[in-house]
Chains A and B, each alone.
Chain A
Amino acid sequence: MRALLPALSLSVSVLLALFPPAGRAADAPLSEVVRETAAPAAVTGLQARDYLDNNDRGDKIELSWCLSADDGAGALSVLEYRVWRSQAPDEQGELVATLEPGTAAHVDTGVTPGVAYYYRVEAFDGALSSPAATAGPAVGRINLFQTSRLPVLVLSLAFFAMVIWFTRLAARGTNLFVRRIPGLNAVEEAVGRATEMGRPVLYVPGIGEIDDIQTIASLTILSHVAKIAAEYETPLIVPTARSVVMSAAEEVVKEAYAEAGHPDNYNPDNIRYLSDAQFAFAGAVSGIMMRERPAANLYLGAFWAESLLFAETGFETKAIQVAGTANVSQLPFFVTACDYTLLGEELYAASAYLSREPKLLGGLKGSDWMKVITICIIVAGVVLTALGVPQFGRWFFTQ
């Protein structure tokens, strides 16, 4: 008996070498060959087509098939399905997926749009593969509009229309009402006090990058502050944490001094880049407060944790402090530690209000009426859900 087994396997392997079963890898281990001599049944009905949800980038092809007859049954039980992809009908191509038994569909997400692909699917039982089912060509079609994002487009366009409309209205000289923003007058007052005391004004435009809207709003306010400072002939120190913000601040201040008729008083050394690192910046600004003793500290822009460090050090040096940020987590500190605070959106409103440029009010008014629309949609949503209309939530589900 002991001699019989090797002899048997030898003869089988010779036979197999002469008449290989379809799909078998030529170097399959001998022992497995002994155990199994037939591959699992092939899958049937393989189909390949463009993935149809109209939102993809054309990089997906959807496959479906009927399970191999041996899936989940007997000794030839399928262990996995293997999906191959190629660009020619008779090529083996690249293995793109191995799937668990019981799977009869797959979305191939790695295709190049517009290229024709052929697919082969094989059932594999651990040793042998079934004959491959083939399908193709299938082409991933590129879509030009992502329909699932339609609600975003509709609301955005409505919003744009309102902003543009109000901006034009303002440009034509229509008086647009904006409610009083507490603390706005304090800015001028603070600069005035610094002048009386003969000490500089410190203006920190936040630590946001130039693409942060708060930074841009802050630069608009800075232009206004610089004009007052120039008129009062009070030094204005602007420390920044970003290089680009520094160069923009230089331009803004230089120009404000020129407009105020004091271009010679502009001191480039007072617009300083300190550090990109948050607390290196915070520490250095605290140092400026302790040593150069500004009498008015204005913190307007995007602030994070350094807010309280500034506000408390400024309190210690007895400066009058005005702050404003849309970073909500910092507002409690500014509110408690500073003399005046612009809350959230008031910062944007202030930039429109202070620049005395009616055009800028358009954005504010547009946002305001968008808020009304938002409120209406929420109320409508609440009512519709109460009435048992579920479509509402679905419409707002975007991807």
Chain B
Amino acid sequence: MNMTLIGTTLAALLTIAVYSFLYKDNPFYKFAEHLVVGVSAGYYLVIYYYNFIDPTVVSPVFRLRIGGDAILLGGVDWWMALIPGLLGLILYARFFPKIGWVSRWALGIYVGGYSGLGIAPVMQARVLDQIRGGALPVHALHTGQGWTNLLLVVGLLGTLTYFFFSLKHKGVLGGLARIGIVFIMVGFGASFGYTVMSRVSLLIGRMNFLLHDWLRIV
């Protein structure tokens, strides 16, 4: 027995333990469930340490690599690496009621920074570019392209109207919103079809593992 074979067998047994949940909740499933929580917690902790905390904080601050401090942050001295390290630390201030409020500073930097970061690119990629993609020429109705473009434009306007909350959906607005919901439902259907595909693929993948990689009968 080598490590690979033991590993594959272990993986196969765990796979079967999870599937036993389909019959009913049982100790094998509970074991697998707690195992995966433990393994992945350990995994994340280690990966984050090696790939992030170590190169950006620990190494620059504690090891003072000669001339090489600046590897990640483009010309930053070791003491600059202290700031994010401190920000990370003050998250834990919440365990000390007296200074607990300090932990909000770190959240402020993170949430504020990423909120600001998101605004303009989202406006660009999801609004401007999609306006450009959505305003299609519909005048050439004697061609097939004209009609399909019209379909796209009407569907887009209808969907936008459906998500308009400020007025009751009556009259023209109601009509457009109604067209919108038709498009949304067809879209959801397509999405459902694809999701079925996706989930079935996952099952097939696991079966392929059991039959091909483990038992080697196909």
Direct A–B contact in complex, judged by CB atoms less than 8 Å apart: yes
Chain A contact surface mostly: helix
Q: Which residue of B lies closest to A380 (CB)?
A: B135
Q: Does B145 contact A (CB under 8 A)?
A: no
Looking at B60-68, B76-84, B119-127, B208-216, the stretch in contact with chain A turns out to be B119-127
Q: Does A290 contact B (CB under 8 A)?
A: yes
Interface residue tally on A, bucketed by range: 35 or more
Highest count of chain A CB atoms <10 Å: which of B33, B114, B139 = B33
Please tell me which one of the listed residues B37, B129, B160 contacts residue A371 in the complex, with CB atoms under 8 A apart. B160
Q: Does A156 contact B (CB under 8 A)?
A: yes
A382 with B37: CB separation less than 8 A: no
Please tell me which one of the listed residues B32, B119, B153, B165 contacts residue A178 in the complex, with CB atoms under 8 A apart. B165
Please judge, given known A-B contacts A211-B115, A392-B135, whether A287 and B128 are in contact too, CB under 8 Å: no
A369 with B166: CB separation less than 8 A: yes
In angstroms, Cα B131 to Cα A393, docked, is 9
Please judge, given known A-B contacts A275-B40, A283-B33, A374-B160, whether A156 and B119 are in contact too, CB under 8 Å: yes
Residues of A with C-beta under 8 A to B191: 328-329, 331-332
In angstroms, Cα B136 to Cα A332, docked, is 29
Q: Does A227 contact B (CB under 8 A)?
A: no
In angstroms, Cα B132 to Cα A139, docked, is 36
A155 with B139: CB separation less than 8 A: no
B33 with A382: CB separation less than 8 A: no
In angstroms, Cα B187 to Cα A397, docked, is 27
Q: Does B7 contact A (CB under 8 A)?
A: no
Q: Which residue of A lies closest to B176 (CB)?
A: A375
Please judge, given known A-B contacts A276-B44, A345-B163, whether A377 and B195 are in contact too, CB under 8 Å: no
Residues of B with C-beta under 8 A to A328: 187-188, 191
Residues of B with C-beta under 8 A to A287: 25, 30, 33
Please judge, given known A-B contacts A152-B124, A177-B166, whether A274 and B25 are in contact too, CB under 8 Å: no
A396 with B137: CB separation less than 8 A: no
In angstroms, Cα B198 to Cα A152, docked, is 36
In angstroms, Cα B30 to Cα A305, docked, is 21
> Besides the contacts A151-B128, A181-B165, A277-B43, what 8 more A-B pairs have beta carbons closer than 8 Å?
A155-B128, A210-B111, A280-B37, A284-B37, A287-B33, A364-B165, A378-B134, A386-B137
- Can you list the 6 inter-chain pairs with the closest CB atoms, starting with the nearest? A381-B135, A277-B40, A386-B139, A211-B114, A396-B132, A332-B192
What are some 6 contacts across the A-B interface (CB < 8 A)?
A: A211-B114, A286-B21, A332-B195, A378-B153, A382-B137, A385-B136
